[in-house]
Structure 1
Amino acid sequence: MESQQDQQDLRDLVRYEARNGRAYITFCRDEKRNALTYEMFDRLMEHIDRAERDDDVRVIIFKGEGRDFSTGHDLAQVGGAEYGFSKDPGARRPSQRARLHFDKRHVEQFRQIFYCVKPTISLVQGWCVGAGLYIVEASDLAIAASDAKIGHPEQKMGLAGAAYMTSWNILAMGPRKAREMLLLGEVVDGNEAARIGLINKAVPPEALLDAGEEWAERIVRLPRDAIAIGKAATHLAMDSLGMTSQFVHGYIGHALGTNIRYESDEVNFMKERKNKGTTQAAHARESHYQAGGEQSATDAPTDAN
């Protein structure tokens, strides 16, 4: 059970504020590039539920405080750690049933964002990768700073194209571009993300918050019932396109991906993390995949998944 101090810490890390028809949900862990722990995800879901139950809230806005929107899952909690994997050399690996149970619950959190009954807007600055980008993809609307860094580099850790939001990626970008981004772990700036349909539009960094407020105000002025009916109609359309199934194959794919076998010439992030620590392991992973790439390994966030 969470202590009162733990609860306060989580409130500080995922902040909620409702005013003027808007609910602002802000990630406040700038010292870790807004990397998200599973406890932070639980708090995020509580805030979304709170906003859904508040009839005065007509739109939900996701933001990141500080430099970045979010560098994704906190890497200290992935690769077996999320399943309660023991570091004891003699310990057995987590079972498939344990993996499936945990991943099903977690992926359903992204489904909750995707099927939120209130319109959602993500405002993206800095790094937005991994689970941070899943939140953006699950949102109705997304605006990014032109210099934001957006992508799924976590695919190089073992999924290689089996993301939670694969169906949405294919629908938004087309199968070729979606496969390129996921299979190669591409990271693009805000302008390119807008061009390929990953977000709605890119704006200068200093204009990001104002752009979000402009769209929020236009939504707030709509009748509440019209907003609700519009979201319900969108959900029906998504279901008719088979979008719900991505949340099933997403959790199965992740459970399988965390149990892959690494060969001797392949980078095993989990092993590197155990031997060298999270930061050095992240740099080793990025360096392995550079091969003439433009992004320096030292430029990549070290808390992202």
Structure 2
Amino acid sequence: MAYLTMHDDGPVRIVRMAREDRLNALNLALVDELVAALEAADADVNVRAIVLTGGEKAFAAGADIGEMADATAVDMKLRDQFRAWDRIRGVHKPVIAAVKGFALGGGCELALACDLVIAGESAKFGQPEVKLGLMPGAGGTQWLARRLGKARALELLWLGDPITAREALSLGLINRVVPDEACVAHAVELGKRLAEMPPVALRCIKEAVYQAMDTAFADGLEAERNLFYLLFATEDAREGMRAFLERRKPEFQGR
């Protein structure tokens, strides 16, 4: 792949965006490669969690403006470049973003599309599209409104100013802030902890939480209950309960 590097650390696949000469600006080719890599990891039975990271200066500094500067509305509609982002959100396994440096525009949206976010102290998050006469198109308005509420979301989106990792943590946008040099290792360690959990249960929990963001409370409760009942058909649930009663550590197989 031209814009990504990948390797496995035990059950965790580490996917790194490597267009660092452009601060990992998200051109169409990079996003296509990223989607393919995430879906391949999702389908690999040996992978239990995925860590997505970038470079030292930027996780991803935004969309590649050069690809859009001369485009018409019809061009953008036919290109439908954000359809790929739906596939990113469709990954079933845990996806952890390890963010250092800039995560702006599409880069911020990409981090927020991940399930968990570990940020280095240098990380900066923001949606500066308004300064180009534009607005977020890959989910930024929706993620921020759902996580922060109307007032804070509008302030960030209207002004376009970045916030620090500590500010993002205080707002509940990210999970943890660690020293830059420990960022990826911390995300991988978290991925290994998740890898010890029952994969089907993790998938069902992820589905239920994301449904909670999109549906009425009663509908979310019904979905949660059905997923709860479904897990009684898995071998992992039997193993987990037997291990609890036998006072030993369970061995989950993802079945």
Matches within 5 A, 1:49-64: 49-64=39-54
5 Å-filtered alignment, 1:1-305, equals 11-81=1-71, 94=72, 96-103=73-80, 106-160=81-135, 164-240=139-215
What's the TM-score once normalised by structure 1's chain length? Answer: 0.66
Deviation readout 1:2-47 (Å, 9 max, x if unpaired) = xxxxxxxxx1421222341112111112221111211111111110
Cα pair 2:119 2:178 within 8 Å, conserved: yes
Structure 2 portions without partners, runs of 5+: 218-255
Q: For residue 163 of structure 1, report the CA deviation from its aligned partner.
A: 6.2
Structure-1 separation of matches of 2:135 and 2:30: 26
Residue 160 (structure 1) shift: 4.7
Deviation at 1:167, TM superposition (A): 1.9
Matched residues in 2 for 1:180 and 1:222: separation?
Answer: 38
- Name the CA distance, whole Å, in 2 between partners of 1:161 and 1:42: 19
Rounded to whole Å, the distance in 1 between the matches of 2:30 and 2:185 is: 26
Identity across the alignment (%): 30
Q: Which amino acid aligns with 1:63?
A: T
For 1:202, what is the secondary structure of its paired residue?
Answer: strand
Which aligned runs of 4 or more in structure 1 are off by greater than 3 angstroms? 160-163
Contact 2:16–2:52 (CA<8 Å) still a contact in 1?
yes
TM-score, normalised with respect to structure 2: 0.78
Encode CA deviations 1:188-236: one digit per residue, 9 max, x unaligned.
1111111112212212222212321221121011012222222232343
Structure 1: 5+ residue runs without aligned partners?
1-10, 82-93, 243-305
Would you say the 8 A contact 1:163–1:182 is kept in 2? no
Q: Deviations over 1:267-303 (max 9, x none)?
A: xxxxxxxxxxxxxxxxxxxxxxxxxxxxxxxxxxxxx
Question: How many residues in Structure 1 have an aligned counterpart in Structure 2?
Answer: 217
Q: Which amino acid aligns with 2:168?
A: A
Could you say what secondary structure the match of 2:60 adopts?
coil
Deviates more, 1:68-77 or 1:118-127: 68-77
Which structure carries more relative contact order (alpha carbon 8 Å, separation 6+)? 1
CA RMSD of aligned residues (A): 2.0
Amino acid corresponding to residue 68 of structure 2 in structure 1: V
Q: Distance in 1 between matches of 2:15 and 2:109?
A: 16
Residue type matched to 2:129 in 1?
E
- Cα contact 1:115–1:235 (8 A) shared by 2: no
Question: 1:138 deviation in Å?
Answer: 0.5
Q: d(CA) in 2 for partners of 1:50 and 1:61?
A: 13
